[in-house]
Homo-oligomer: A and B are copies of this chain.
Amino acid sequence: MNNEVLVVGSVAFDSVENANGSVQRVLGGAASYASICASYFANPRVVAVVGTDFSEQDRAPFLKRGVNLEGLEVREGKTFHWGGSYDKDFNTAVTRFTDLNVFQNFNPVLSEAQKNAKAVFLANINPELQLSVLDQVKNPSLVACDTMNYWISSKKEALLEVVKRIDVFFLNESEARQLTGEYNLIKAGRKLMDQGVKYVVIKLGSNGAMLVSQEGLAQLPPYILEHVHDTTGAGDTFGGGFTGYLASLKKWNSLNAIKRAMMIGNVMASFTIESFSVDRLADLTQPDIDKRLKEYTSMLKF
C-alpha cells in the first residue's frame, strides 16, 4: 500500500535556551520533527536542503526511523541555523538569530516518487514554495499545510492561494486571528473554510487543539505532561503525526478519523517536549505510543 507522506520544509540546526538548560546546534527544523513523527504511522520522504556541514550523525535519527532522505539536497554552504530562547511559559520563543544559509535558496524540485506520494505535508516555508510543490505533485489523497506569522505578514496572497488547494490547515491561535481578522477562533476557522480548506486545525499550545470543519467542531485537550523540557518542534510533531496517521488510513476524511489524528498529534507532541531536539521523539517504541494513547482516551472516558 502507498502510505507515503511527502514532507517539504526545513531541516535545520537549533540552538535553544530555556529554564532547563541550553543546547547548541542540535537537529531541528519543521521537516525533521514532522517526518520523524510521521514515520511511526506511514512512510515519510523528506524534501529539504542542508549544507555540507550536515553530518552522518545528523542523518542518523531519520535513518533509524526509516525516513527516506533521497530528497535531502546538500548544497555548498552551511545548514539553516535557528537560535531562540523561551521564558518560563515555554510557549513563546524569542528568536535570537535566524541564519538561513543554504535554506535561503531552497527550491523544491520533486522526483517521480515524491510526486506520487499519497499525502503531502507542507511544513512551514514560503507559501510560494508551497504552491510550487502543489504544482508538481500528482493528485495526492491528502494535503496538509502549516505556516507562521512571518508569511501571513509578508506573503498573505500566496498563502491564501495555498489555502484554496489544501485539505488541512494547521495554525495557532494568533496566526488564525492575524490571517482572518477574526478574534473568535470558530469564526476564524469558518473564514478559512470559505477560502477552500476543508479542515482547519487550530493548535492551542498547552491547551491541545481545536477543529473547525463542515462535519463539526471539536476541541481536544493535550496529553498532560508534568515536566516540560523544551517545546521546540511540538507543533511540527503534531502536524507530522496527524498527517502520517491519516496517510495510513484507507479513508481519512471523516470526523472520527480527524479527531483520532488530533489525538495522535497531541500524544506525539508530548514526547517531543520531553527532550531537546528529536532525542525522545526518534527513540520511541510502539508500546510507548500505545500507552499514552490509552491514557489519553481513558482520561476522556466518563
Contacts and interface: CB of A to CB of B under 8 A. Distances in A.
A183 B88 contact: yes
Nearest to A222: B219
Contacts of A292: none
A263 interface: yes
A165 interface: no
B224 A221 contact: no
A208 B221 contact: yes
A1 interface: no
A244 to B, nearest CB: 17
A111 to B, nearest CB: 36
Given A183-B88, A184-B228, A299 B221 contact: no
Interface in A203-241: 204, 207-208, 210, 216-222, 224, 226, 228
A187 to B, nearest CB: 8
Contacts of A222: 219
A302 B207 CA distance: 19
Interface in A24-82: none
Contact of A207 (B207, B259, B299): B207
Contact of A219 (B187, B218, B224, B259): B224
A292 B184 CA distance: 21
A290 interface: no
Contact of A263 (B187, B210, B302): B302
A191 interface: no
A206 to B, nearest CB: 9
A246 to B, nearest CB: 14
B218 A299 contact: yes
Contacts of A226: 184, 186-187, 217
A105 interface: no
B224 A259 contact: no
A194 interface: no
Given A219-B224, A220-B221, 6 more contacts: A88-B183, A204-B207, A208-B219, A208-B221, A300-B301, A300-B302
